[in-house]
Structure 1
Amino acid sequence: MKAVIMAGGRGTRLRPLTSHTPKPMVPLLNRPCMEYTIDLLKKHGITEIAVTLQFLPDAIRNYFGDGSAYGVSLVYFEETTPLGTAGSVKNCADFLDERFIVISGDTLTDMDLSAAISFHEEKEALATLVLTQVETPLEFGVVMTDESGRIIRFLEKPTWAEVFSDTVNTGIYVCEPEVLSYIEDNREVDFSKEVFPTFLSEGKPMYGYSADGYWSDIGSLAVYRQAQFDMLDGKVDLEIKAQEIAPRIYFENHVRIDSSVRLEGPVFIGENVHLQAGASIGAYSVLGSNTVVATGAQLSRAIIWENTLVGKKTEMTGATICRNVQIAQSVLMGEGAVIGDNCHLAAKSVVKAGVKIWPDKEVGESATVSTSLIYGAKQTKNLFGTNGIKGIGNVEITPEFVTRLAASYAYLLKAGSRIALSACTHPFAQLLKHSIMTSLCSSGIDTIDFGIGNAPLMRYGVRGLQCVGGIHVYMAEPVEEKEIVIQFVDQDGLPVSRDMERKIENAYWQETYVRTLHHLGELHVEHQVQQAYLRALMERIDLASIQRQRFRLLVECEPRFMPTFLAPLFESLGVTVQYGAIQSGVSKQGADLGVRLDKNGEQIALFSDRGEKLSAEQLIALQLLACSGQHSKIGLPVSAPMELEHLAQLLQLKVVRTKVTPRAMMEVAPEERFHPMFDAVYSLMRTLSYLAKEEKPLSFLLELLPACHMEKKTVFCPWASKGKVMRKMLEENKGKPLELVDGIKVYDSNGWVLILPDTEDSHVKVISQGATAETAATLASSYARRIAEYQ
Structure 2
Amino acid sequence: MIRIKAIIMAGGKGTRLKPLTCNIPKPMVPILNKPTMEYTVELLRKHNIKDIAVTIAHLPTVITDYFHDGGKWDVNLSYYTEETPLGTGGSVKNAEEFIDDTFIVLSGDSLTDINIKKAIEFHKNKGSKATLILKNEQMPIEYGVVITNDNGRITRFLEKPSWGEVFSNTINTGMYILEPEVLDYFQPGENFDFSKDLFPKLLEDDIPMYGYVTEDYWCDVGALNSYTETHFDILSGKVNIGLEGHQIEDGIWVGEGTQIGSGVKITPPVYIGKNCVIHEGVKIDAYTTIGDHCNIENNTSLKRSIIWNHSTLGRNSRCRGSIVCNHVHIKEHVDLYENAVIGEGSILEGRVVVKPDIRLWPYKKVEENTVVNQNLVWGTKASKTIFGFKDICGHINIDINPEFASKLGTAFASTLEEESIVILSSDASNASQMIKNALIAGVHATGAGVINIGNVVMPVNRFAVTDLRGSGGIHVRMDYSDKKLIHIEFVDKIGANIQRNTEREIENVFNREDFKRCNVEQIKSTTNIENFNYYYINNGGRLLKNSSNIKRQNPSLIVSSKSDTIQQLATEFLESIGCDVKQDYNLKGDKRIQDYLVEMTPRIKKGKVNLAVIISEDGEDIILIDGAGRIIEQEKYDALIAMMILKEGKQKKLILPYTAPYIIEEMAHIYGVEVQRVKSNPASIMNAMLAVENGQSQGLSQYTLTYNAIWAIGGILDFLVEKNIKLEDLVDELPNFYYIKEEIPCDWKDKGRIIRQIIEENQHKSIEMFEGVKINDEKGWTLILPDSTKPLFNIYTEGSSQEYAKELSIFFSGKVKELLKNQEE
Both proteins in one fold, TM over 0.5 = yes
Give, as a single letter, the amino acid of the residue that structure 1 aligns with 2:475.
H
Matches within 5 A, 1:733-748: 733-748=762-777
**Does the C-alpha gap of structure 1 residues 738 and 255 become closer, same or farther in structure 2, counting only changes over 3 Å?**
farther
Cα deviation, 1:215-264, whole Å, max 9, x if unaligned, reads xxxxxxxxxxxxxxxxxxxxxxxxxxxxxxxxxxxxxxx98699983356
Query: Is 1:550 paired with 2:540?
Result: no
Select 2:644's aligned residue among 626, 630, 654.
626
Matches within 5 A, 1:43-54: none
Query: Is 1:670 paired with 2:694?
Result: no
For the residue of structure 2 that corresponds to 1:782, the secondary structure is helix
Aligned equivalents of 1:782, 1:566: Cα separation in 2: 43
Cα deviation, 1:407-433, whole Å, max 9, x if unaligned, reads 222222233211111111222111111
The equivalent residue for 1:212 is none
Shift of 1:324: 8.7
Stretch moving more, 540-549 or 761-770: 540-549
Cα deviation, 1:279-335, whole Å, max 9, x if unaligned, reads 31555665744525769752534558566455799879456797897759xx67674
Aligned positions, number: 528
Aligned equivalents of 2:579, 2:309: Cα separation in 1: 72
Q: Do the aligned residues in 2 keep the contact of 1:419 with 1:448 (CA within 8 Å)?
A: yes
Shift of 1:504: 0.9
**Does the C-alpha gap of structure 1 residues 283 and 693 become closer, same or farther in structure 2, counting only changes over 3 Å?**
farther
Aligned equivalents of 1:506, 1:259: Cα separation in 2: 42
The equivalent residue for 1:431 is 434
Select 1:505's aligned residue among 503, 507, 517.
507
Aligned equivalents of 2:574, 2:662: Cα separation in 1: 35
Q: Do the aligned residues in 2 keep the contact of 1:556 with 1:579 (CA within 8 Å)?
A: yes
The equivalent residue for 1:462 is 465
Shift of 1:632: 4.3
For the residue of structure 1 that corresponds to 2:659, the secondary structure is coil
The equivalent residue for 2:527 is 524
Cα deviation, 1:600-622, whole Å, max 9, x if unaligned, reads 11000111223221243321122
For the residue of structure 1 that corresponds to 2:382, the secondary structure is coil
Aligned equivalents of 1:338, 1:739: Cα separation in 2: 37
Query: Is 1:683 paired with 2:686?
Result: no
**Does the C-alpha gap of structure 1 residues 317 and 691 become closer, same or farther in structure 2, counting only changes over 3 Å?**
same
Shift of 1:742: 1.9
Query: Is 1:778 paired with 2:798?
Result: no
Give, as a single letter, the amino acid of the residue that structure 2 aligns with 1:638.
Y
- Structure 2 length-normalised TM: 0.57
Q: Do the aligned residues in 2 keep the contact of 1:554 with 1:577 (CA within 8 Å)?
A: yes
Shift of 1:563: 4.1
Q: Do the aligned residues in 1 keep the contact of 2:270 with 2:286 (CA within 8 Å)?
A: no
Select 1:597's aligned residue among 590, 615, 618.
615
Shift of 1:460: 1.5
Cα deviation, 1:715-746, whole Å, max 9, x if unaligned, reads 22322222222222223322433333322222
Select 2:788's aligned residue among 759, 763, 769.
759
Aligned equivalents of 1:641, 1:768: Cα separation in 2: 9
Shift of 1:476: 1.9
The equivalent residue for 2:52 is none
For the residue of structure 2 that corresponds to 1:742, the secondary structure is coil
Give, as a single letter, the amino acid of the residue that structure 2 aligns with 1:280.
G
Query: Is 1:609 paired with 2:627?
Result: yes
The equivalent residue for 1:644 is 664
Q: Do the aligned residues in 1 keep the contact of 2:471 with 2:492 (CA within 8 Å)?
A: yes
**Does the C-alpha gap of structure 1 residues 310 and 268 become closer, same or farther in structure 2, counting only changes over 3 Å?**
farther
Shift of 1:752: 0.9
Cα deviation, 1:114-158, whole Å, max 9, x if unaligned, reads xxxxxxxxxxxxxxxxxxxxxxxxxxxxxxxxxxxxxxxxxxxxx
Cα deviation, 1:518-548, whole Å, max 9, x if unaligned, reads 4213421234643333333223322133223
Query: Is 1:471 paired with 2:489?
Result: no
- Structure 1 length-normalised TM: 0.59
Give, as a single letter, the amino acid of the residue that structure 2 aligns with 1:351.
V
**Does the C-alpha gap of structure 1 residues 359 and 608 become closer, same or farther in structure 2, counting only changes over 3 Å?**
closer
Select 1:453's aligned residue among 456, 464, 469.
456
Aligned equivalents of 2:387, 2:575: Cα separation in 1: 39
Q: Do the aligned residues in 1 keep the contact of 2:300 with 2:315 (CA within 8 Å)?
A: no
Give, as a single letter, the amino acid of the residue that structure 1 aligns with 2:454.
G
Aligned equivalents of 1:499, 1:641: Cα separation in 2: 28
Matches within 5 A, 1:695-714: 695-714=724-743
Aligned equivalents of 2:662, 2:281: Cα separation in 1: 63
Query: Is 1:661 paired with 2:663?
Result: no
For the residue of structure 2 that corresponds to 1:703, the secondary structure is helix
The equivalent residue for 1:386 is 389
| Identity across matched positions, percent | 23
Cα deviation, 1:146-181, whole Å, max 9, x if unaligned, reads xxxxxxxxxxxxxxxxxxxxxxxxxxxxxxxxxxxx
For the residue of structure 1 that corresponds to 2:569, the secondary structure is helix
Aligned equivalents of 2:747, 2:284: Cα separation in 1: 40
Q: Do the aligned residues in 1 keep the contact of 2:390 with 2:683 (CA within 8 Å)?
A: no
Aligned equivalents of 1:374, 1:744: Cα separation in 2: 35
Shift of 1:700: 4.2
The equivalent residue for 1:571 is 575
Aligned equivalents of 2:680, 2:508: Cα separation in 1: 25
Shift of 1:500: 0.7
**Does the C-alpha gap of structure 1 residues 434 and 736 become closer, same or farther in structure 2, counting only changes over 3 Å?**
same
Give, as a single letter, the amino acid of the residue that structure 1 aligns with 2:492.
D
Query: Is 1:351 paired with 2:335?
Result: no
* Runs of 5+ unmatched residues, structure 2: 1-246, 362-369, 376-380, 587-595, 694-700, 821-825
The equivalent residue for 1:200 is none
The equivalent residue for 1:6 is none
Aligned equivalents of 2:563, 2:353: Cα separation in 1: 54
Shift of 1:339: 13
The equivalent residue for 2:154 is none
Shift of 1:489: 0.8
Q: Do the aligned residues in 2 keep the contact of 1:263 with 1:281 (CA within 8 Å)?
A: yes
Q: Do the aligned residues in 2 keep the contact of 1:342 with 1:360 (CA within 8 Å)?
A: yes
Aligned equivalents of 1:690, 1:373: Cα separation in 2: 52
Aligned equivalents of 1:593, 1:423: Cα separation in 2: 29
**Does the C-alpha gap of structure 1 residues 726 and 277 become closer, same or farther in structure 2, counting only changes over 3 Å?**
closer
Aligned equivalents of 2:769, 2:317: Cα separation in 1: 48
Aligned equivalents of 1:445, 1:374: Cα separation in 2: 26
**Does the C-alpha gap of structure 1 residues 306 and 382 become closer, same or farther in structure 2, counting only changes over 3 Å?**
closer
Aligned equivalents of 2:677, 2:547: Cα separation in 1: 32
Aligned equivalents of 1:590, 1:399: Cα separation in 2: 49
Cα deviation, 1:658-682, whole Å, max 9, x if unaligned, reads 1111122222232547531111112
Query: Is 1:410 paired with 2:413?
Result: yes
The equivalent residue for 1:246 is none
For the residue of structure 2 that corresponds to 1:710, the secondary structure is strand
